[in-house]
Structure 1
Amino acid sequence: MCGIAGFLGHGVWQGVEHAKAGLTQMAAAISSRGPDDSGLWVDEGVGVGLAHRRLSIVDLSPAGHQPMHSASGRYVIVYNGEVYNHDEIRRQLDASGLVPNWRGHSDTETLLAGFDAWGIEGTLERCVGMFAFALWDRQERTLTLARDRLGEKPLYYGWQGEGQKASLIFGSELKALRRHRQFYGEIDRDAISLLMRHNYIPAPYSIYRNIFKLPPGCLLTVRPDDGRDRPQPRQYWSLPQVAEVGRRNLHQGGADQIVDELEHLLKQVIGQQMVADVPLGAFLSGGVDSSTIVALMQAQAARPVRTFTIGFDEHGYDEAVHAREVATHLGTNHTELYVSPEEAMAVIPELPTIYDEPFSDSSQIPTYLVSRLARQHVTVSLSGDGGDEVFCGYTRYTATAAAWGKLSAVPRPLRRMGAAGIRAISPAHWDQAARFLPGLRKAAMGGRLGDKLHKAAGVLGSSSVDDLYMALVSHWSEPAALVLGAREPPTQLTGLAPSLDGLTPVERMMALDMVSYLPDDILTKVDRAAMSVSLETRVPLLDHRLVEFAWRLPQDVKLRDGEGKWALKQVLYRYVPRALIERPKMGFGVPLDSWLRGPLREWADALLEEGRLRRDGYFDYTAIQQKWREHLSGQRNWAYHLWDVLMFQAWQEAQLA
């Protein structure tokens, strides 16, 4: 796992040494991604520069140093990631007689040999792994940027400057691009509106105008004189196509055969991801996904696997006890750390630097804490992320489909009238009514009936199941009205949505999550948290072979009798007793609502102060102030809406510091 950066275009550089000094600064900004080694390469005649920061995982020798040149001399690469089947690819190359000799045993060298033999896309078709790289082709005079199929590794790029002095700049994180002398850094108000809706900024957008995220499964090929044309990425792997092909070619075996094949494939995938020349472990929450990963790791390990979890004393937020029970049963070498609210909140000032652009999934806090804990003992950690999207684990999938089945039977005008009636009564009055009306008492269990009803009113006017799902996963429902001068741009969930007509509503939700929520929220959260402490994370459930296999499975082995991830659980129950796993899904969060009313109030007050919001000029301060007052009074729980604004405000403050 590493960090990469670079540029294409003469821009403002004057000579090789000047260009190298600029590259050094770009690479230094992402040094936590690669503390073990660094390297630069510049071709002054063309105006191309590549920079690399290395976290040594496989082949710790100087033979793994980057930028690396291919044996033919044609290609130069900076690369971030792991190709888990690179030994198999080497055997194919050896059998073909296309490689005269090997200098080391790094997967970077294997990639370059593949490019020489089969070309870029021919090599990527053979690769199993996670990666982002920049490849200069001396023969064709082209720069190719590439990102792995599911988007585990990040890559930003964009053109800065005008005319012949424009440069393409790129890097693993925005902080590298900000060090380039031509970086302009105009905040994109449209992107802020996306943040307010999703709590992340979805690809291809970033917080800055003209700076983009390369979408997962894409290549971008640029020539030195392409500044004006600004070519677009092209896909070499498509999740919608995988889903479409999978549904046309369903697995014909019975449930037992499917579970056997799934277990075999999981063992193969996890076994490949356990290969490293440095200490390796796994995150363990005690849930289905992480427990499955750890169980199959331990089944293939010669010694106890290192596992890590953090716990909170707050009721409803502590999974450590469940993780401990699973670890004890499997016999892992388990480390847990209970974190006080004060220790968790101490992370908040670091978030703008860790996440580099505004990002407001509040589980970023425990994710960082468990990454920091693991890095004290290992350099690589496997994670259970992706299981919900791949194997239909989120209850919101079935809940949305069921809700639409009922809502669609009611004419839309009547539903809108009902929503208006609900909103006409304040949440506080609904809560009071629940005490006296027997029909509302059951619905009020858990508190905040009024809050729940007002949220439900927001989706009653939905025109389709897709519209309903969008409403349910949105924070601010009209973010372009909240952000001054903004227009919400199309995303994979709206105007850029891929064709998924052949899928059921539940399958469409799964597919949309896999092309947006998964890479832009979940994988971003894990990558930035882990790499800020120089920890490599690997995500076995997102091996593309496993994803393609899962899309060929009949839906009733993923969702059976209302139970999601059925087939995956059957594999797990061969290693861990069902009683240790079966419990309500808890998630990986923090008590954000009470923190904002208590220990974080002064911090939030300062960032949400009316005069400050007016001066900054990004938000409709009246809407924010209203939600802040309602939240502080306990009238409504607006924690997630407010956290979106607070994370932008904190990020902006950090940029100005």
Structure 2
Amino acid sequence: MCGLAGMLLPEPSLGIGPMQALARRMGDALLHRGPDDSGVWADEAAGIALAHRRLSILDLSPLGHQPMTSADGRYVMAYNGEVYNFAGLRAELEPLGHAFSGHSDTEVLLAAILQWGLDETLQRCNGMFAIALWDREQRCLWLARDRVGKKPLYYGWAGDTLVFGSELKALWQHPEFDNDIDRDALTLLLRLDYIPAPHSIHQRCFKMMPGRILRLDAATVAAGPSAHRPEQAQRPFWDARARMQAALAAPFRGGIDEAEQQLDALLRDAVGLRMVADVPVGVFLSGGTDSSLVAALMQAQSNQPVHSFSIGFSGSHHDEAPLARELAAHLGCDHTELYVSGADALAVVPQLPAMFDEPFADASQVPTALVARLARQGVTVALSGDGGDELFFGYMRYVRALRNWQMLGRVPAPLRRWLGARAGRQGEASRTGGMAALLAETGARGIGDVYRNRISRWRDPAAAVPGAQLAGSFYDLADPLHGAGTPADAMMLADFTTYLPDDLLCKVDRTSMAVSLEARAPLLDWRVAEFAWSLPLAFKRQGDTSKVLLKRVLGRYVPPSMVHRPKRGFGAPVGDWLRGDLRPWADELLDPGRLQREGVFSAAAIQPLWQQFLGGERKWHTHLWNVLMFQAWQAHWRAVRAEVQGS
């Protein structure tokens, strides 16, 4: 796990010294992602520079140093992530004449690119990664991101220079990165609590989408962002929708017992691959189905007690720590738990803008940051249970959306259109639940529209951002699967391609890397995903039981009392915070005069919600939290830019 950064100029215009110094400055902004080593490589004539910060996980020796050059000198690479099947790839490459000086996956990855090319290599890789690869022969830069989007990668223009990096804070270090706020992208934050790829909070700046490759050269850079269309320029080497459609076209034909056996074998292998490291490895354990299954599969393949970590919340009725403690004792894990108070949680809030250098408003970021900090005291790598809900129908919102979609099917189309037109005039009132929320779905064209209504915070976010137009996302598709599969499949695909990488995996990446901890998610092994997509819904939900097949596999390792437990979210009491200790902080950030001076939000749209919330009239805390997260981020961003420009 590491951090990378760099730049590509449209023509050579900087000396080697200034190029190296600027690249190093960009890389050093990612110190938290890689405290163990750093490196810079530059080619003055080509106008390219790469920087790397290393968190040593495999091959702790200097032989794993990056940026790394291929054996023949053609490629130079800065790489963030892990290729879990690197040993198998190395075993294929050695008989083909490739020799290795160390045992890092970086060296194997470069040899594989030499042998098979970038596309085929990435298709052969089982891992999480973000890659910047300079081809000296073709004089072009390749950027790539793993299938699921576990590792982040941003790129954009600073003046006429292309800059890229694992986090925005690296791009900010370029003195010409004066890119203002993208108001259209901000509407996505208000709707979803995050900004999905390829959008970013900045104009002239983009995210790599999961499973994509991008080719850039001097001509591309010179053409500038106005000529760049990321949805077309970033081409897939693995496409989730196409792979789900293929899985649905060739469904699993066996019974549930056979499916249970196959899933157990797949998960054992996925977990085993992710336990390979030259540093201590542990597991985040909440006591829920997904993390419990990961912990059980780890312990089943370990000769030593697995390190497990959980946090509890003092005075909370949602405390899962006792469940995690009980399960860890049954498995024989070396368990560590920490009880935190409301004050402990609130102390994290001021750190969020620096931790998430793009505004991010999933409030579970706070407990996730706390458990990552706890785990880092004992291990350098921690496995998580992310992905189970999106692959195995784990969310109650899926059930509610299906229920509403079925109800709407009984309403005559003309009446639905009339009701939908009325609902469109409700604005944020449709967020308050009851009949208003149901009316908001009457104009739905398909399950995608119903589901978007279920997950949206602000219904009309553009009304709160003067001059903005609502930016589109995968959730705007009436049918995300384009006619294939069921409405249930369509909702899971939408979350897999958007909510999972841009919310859940972003949250885990930033909070874990803030403390130099690598997080791995075995349930998101691409083989597990494609197998899950081939399964009928009856293997995922039966009656009131969700994630049926995952629970059957878990039942092989723990007693039934530890399998069938109610789902609990990993959230935070934001409403209580805003009425309590965070009230002065929120008052300052939401001050009407401040909002008017800054000119980003409409005070007329924000202030009534704040006053109604304080008066107990509405539960507007979700609307307000994403506004507050932006406001806090904006203050941090302006302070960083002032420091860069003043240095």
TM class, shorter-length: over 0.9
> Quick one: structure 1 residues 450 and 640, their matched pair in 2 at CA, closer, same or farther if it must change by over 3 Å?
closer
Name 1:332's counterpart in structure 2: 333
> How many angstroms apart in 2 are the aligned matches of 1:487 and 1:590?
31
The alpha carbon displacement at 1:623 in A equals: 2.0
Q: Which amino acid aligns with 1:300?
A: Q
How do residues 453-468 of structure 1 correspond to structure 2 at under 5 angstroms?
Answer: 454-468=436-450
- Are 2:197 and 2:208, in contact at CA under 8 Å, matched by a contact in 1? yes
Name 2:103's counterpart in structure 1: 105
Name 2:364's counterpart in structure 1: 363
Q: 1:536 aligns with which of 507, 518, 536?
A: 518
- Are 1:178 and 1:185, in contact at CA under 8 Å, matched by a contact in 2? no
- Are 2:479 and 2:490, in contact at CA under 8 Å, matched by a contact in 1? no
> Quick one: structure 1 residues 544 and 397, their matched pair in 2 at CA, closer, same or farther if it must change by over 3 Å?
same
The alpha carbon displacement at 1:460 in A equals: 4.5
- Are 2:448 and 2:480, in contact at CA under 8 Å, matched by a contact in 1? no
Deviations 1:288-326 (A, max 9, x none): 000000000000001110000111124333111111111
1:548 aligned onto 2:530 = yes
Name 1:617's counterpart in structure 2: 599
> Quick one: structure 1 residues 607 and 405, their matched pair in 2 at CA, closer, same or farther if it must change by over 3 Å?
same
1:207 aligned onto 2:201 = yes
- SS across alignment from 1:493: helix
Q: Which amino acid aligns with 2:324?
A: A
- Are 2:309 and 2:371, in contact at CA under 8 Å, matched by a contact in 1? yes
> How many angstroms apart in 2 are the aligned matches of 1:179 and 1:487?
29
> How many angstroms apart in 2 are the aligned matches of 1:139 and 1:418?
57
1:654 aligned onto 2:647 = no
- SS across alignment from 1:226: helix
Deviations 1:557-598 (A, max 9, x none): 122234221111100011112212323211100111111111
1:484 aligned onto 2:478 = no
Q: How many pairs align?
A: 629
The alpha carbon displacement at 1:91 in A equals: 0.6
Name 1:137's counterpart in structure 2: 135
- SS across alignment from 1:27: helix
- Are 1:240 and 1:500, in contact at CA under 8 Å, matched by a contact in 2? no
- Are 2:10 and 2:47, in contact at CA under 8 Å, matched by a contact in 1? yes
Name 2:63's counterpart in structure 1: 63
Deviations 1:338-376 (A, max 9, x none): 111011001111000000010000000001000000001
The alpha carbon displacement at 1:157 in A equals: 0.5
Deviations 1:370-422 (A, max 9, x none): 0000001100000000110011111111221112111332246756669979x
> Quick one: structure 1 residues 261 and 474, their matched pair in 2 at CA, closer, same or farther if it must change by over 3 Å?
same
> Quick one: structure 1 residues 418 and 19, their matched pair in 2 at CA, closer, same or farther if it must change by over 3 Å?
closer
- SS across alignment from 2:385: coil
Percent of pairs identical after alignment?
Answer: 52
- Are 1:304 and 1:332, in contact at CA under 8 Å, matched by a contact in 2? yes
1:579 aligned onto 2:580 = no
Q: Which is further off, 234-243 or 401-410?
A: 401-410
1:351 aligned onto 2:352 = yes
> Quick one: structure 1 residues 456 and 591, their matched pair in 2 at CA, closer, same or farther if it must change by over 3 Å?
farther
The alpha carbon displacement at 1:493 in A equals: 1.8
- Are 2:158 and 2:174, in contact at CA under 8 Å, matched by a contact in 1? no
> Quick one: structure 1 residues 59 and 497, their matched pair in 2 at CA, closer, same or farther if it must change by over 3 Å?
farther
> How many angstroms apart in 1 are the aligned matches of 2:576 and 2:119?
50
Unaligned runs of at least 5 residues, structure 1: 428-448
How do residues 383-398 of structure 1 correspond to structure 2 at under 5 angstroms?
Answer: 383-398=384-399
Q: Which amino acid aligns with 1:655?
A: W
- Are 1:305 and 1:332, in contact at CA under 8 Å, matched by a contact in 2? yes
Q: Which amino acid aligns with 1:278?
A: V
Name 2:218's counterpart in structure 1: 224
Name 2:190's counterpart in structure 1: 196
- SS across alignment from 1:41: strand
Q: 1:522 aligns with which of 504, 508, 531?
A: 504
The alpha carbon displacement at 1:488 in A equals: 1.2
- Are 2:11 and 2:46, in contact at CA under 8 Å, matched by a contact in 1? no
Q: TM-score, normalised by structure 2?
A: 0.94
- Are 1:144 and 1:219, in contact at CA under 8 Å, matched by a contact in 2? yes
Unaligned runs of at least 5 residues, structure 2: 640-647
- Are 1:9 and 1:47, in contact at CA under 8 Å, matched by a contact in 2? yes
Name 1:558's counterpart in structure 2: 540
> How many angstroms apart in 1 are the aligned matches of 2:345 and 2:11?
43
- Are 1:78 and 1:133, in contact at CA under 8 Å, matched by a contact in 2? yes
Name 1:445's counterpart in structure 2: none
Name 2:342's counterpart in structure 1: 341
> Quick one: structure 1 residues 391 and 76, their matched pair in 2 at CA, closer, same or farther if it must change by over 3 Å?
same
> How many angstroms apart in 2 are the aligned matches of 1:175 and 1:571?
42
Q: TM-score, normalised by structure 1?
A: 0.92
- Are 1:419 and 1:457, in contact at CA under 8 Å, matched by a contact in 2? no
Q: Which amino acid aligns with 1:16?
A: I
Deviations 1:527-566 (A, max 9, x none): 0000010000001011111111111222211222342211
> How many angstroms apart in 2 are the aligned matches of 1:85 and 1:216?
19
> How many angstroms apart in 2 are the aligned matches of 1:192 and 1:265?
40
Q: Which amino acid aligns with 2:116?
A: W
- Are 1:282 and 1:307, in contact at CA under 8 Å, matched by a contact in 2? yes
> How many angstroms apart in 2 are the aligned matches of 1:263 and 1:394?
22
> How many angstroms apart in 1 are the aligned matches of 2:84 and 2:388?
20
Name 1:303's counterpart in structure 2: 304
Aligned-residue CA RMSD (Å): 2.1
- Are 1:306 and 1:333, in contact at CA under 8 Å, matched by a contact in 2? yes
